[in-house]
Structure 1
Amino acid sequence: MGLAFAAMWSSAFTSARIIVASAPPLTTLAFRFLISGLIAVIIARLMKQTWHLTRAQWRATIIFGICQNGLYLGLNFVAMQWVEASLAAIIASTMPLLVALAGWLFLKDAPKPVAMVGLAAGIAGVALVMGTRLGQGVDLTGVILCLVGVLALTVATMALRGALSGGNYMMIVGLQMLIGSAFLWPFGLAFESLEVIWSPQLVAAFVYTTLVPGLAATFIWVLLVNRIGAVRAATFHFLNPFLGVAFAALLLGEQLRTSDFIGVLVIAAGILAVQLSHVVEIRKMQDKT
Structure 2
Amino acid sequence: MSKLKNFKLITAGIAFAFLWSSASTATKIGLTSAQPFVISIFRFLFAGGIMLFVTHIVLQNRLPVKREWIQISIYGFLNITFYLGLYVIAMQQVSAGLGSLAVATNPVFIALMSAFWFSHKIKYKNVLSLLLCFIGVVLAAYPLLESSYATPLGIIILLVSMIAYSLGTIYYSRVNWNDLPILTINGWQTILGGVFLLPVLYATYDPKKNSFDTSFWASVCWLAIPVSIGAVQFWLYLLKNNPIKASYWLFLCPIFGFLIAHLIMKEPISIYTFIGVAFVVCGLYIVQKKIKL
Q: Same fold (TM over 0.5)?
A: yes
| RMSD of aligned alpha carbons | 3.0
Worse-superposed segment, 66-75 or 259-268: 259-268
Equivalent in the alignment of 2:86: 75
Identity of aligned residues (%): 26
Deviation string, structure 1 residues 32-77 (Cα, Å, up to 9, x no partner): 211211221111112111223463x444422221111111111111
2:20 corresponds to 1:20: no
Note the C-alpha offset of 1:236. 2.3
Alpha-carbon separation, structure 1, partners of 2:251 and 2:24: 16
Q: Structure 2 vs 1, CA of residues 217 and 174 (structure 1 numbering), >3 Å: closer, same or farther? A: same
Equivalent in the alignment of 1:208: 222
Alpha-carbon separation, structure 1, partners of 2:167 and 2:291: 24
Equivalent in the alignment of 2:234: 220
Equivalent in the alignment of 1:102: 113
Q: Structure 2 vs 1, CA of residues 89 and 12 (structure 1 numbering), >3 Å: closer, same or farther? A: same
Match of 1:49 among 55, 61, 64: 61
Note the C-alpha offset of 1:108. 1.5
2:137 and 2:254 in contact (8 A); partners too = no
Match of 1:160 among 166, 172, 178: 172
Equivalent in the alignment of 1:85: 96
Q: Structure 2 vs 1, CA of residues 207 and 232 (structure 1 numbering), >3 Å: closer, same or farther? A: same
Alpha-carbon separation, structure 2, partners of 1:136 and 1:86: 8
1:18 and 1:205 in contact (8 A); partners too = yes
Note the C-alpha offset of 1:16. 0.8
With structure 2 as the length reference, what TM-score do the two structures score? 0.82
Equivalent in the alignment of 1:175: 188
**What are the residue-to-residue correspondences of 1:140-289 with 2, within 5 Å?**
140-163=152-175, 164-194=177-207, 195-226=209-240, 228-256=241-269, 275-276=287-288
Equivalent in the alignment of 1:64: 75
Q: Structure 2 vs 1, CA of residues 105 and 264 (structure 1 numbering), >3 Å: closer, same or farther? A: farther
1:27 and 1:185 in contact (8 A); partners too = no
1:9 and 1:217 in contact (8 A); partners too = yes
Question: Partner amino acid for 1:98?
Answer: F
Note the C-alpha offset of 1:6. 1.7
Alpha-carbon separation, structure 2, partners of 1:261 and 1:60: 41
Aligned residues: 278
With structure 1 as the length reference, what TM-score do the two structures score? 0.83
Deviation string, structure 1 residues 133-158 (Cα, Å, up to 9, x no partner): 48976211111111111100101110
Question: Partner amino acid for 1:208?
Answer: W
Alpha-carbon separation, structure 1, partners of 2:73 and 2:212: 33
What SS is found at the alignment partner of 2:173? coil
Q: Structure 2 vs 1, CA of residues 264 and 62 (structure 1 numbering), >3 Å: closer, same or farther? A: farther
Note the C-alpha offset of 1:19. 0.7
Deviation string, structure 1 residues 109-130 (Cα, Å, up to 9, x no partner): 1312232344455666777859
Alpha-carbon separation, structure 2, partners of 1:134 and 1:106: 37
Question: Partner amino acid for 2:253?
Answer: N
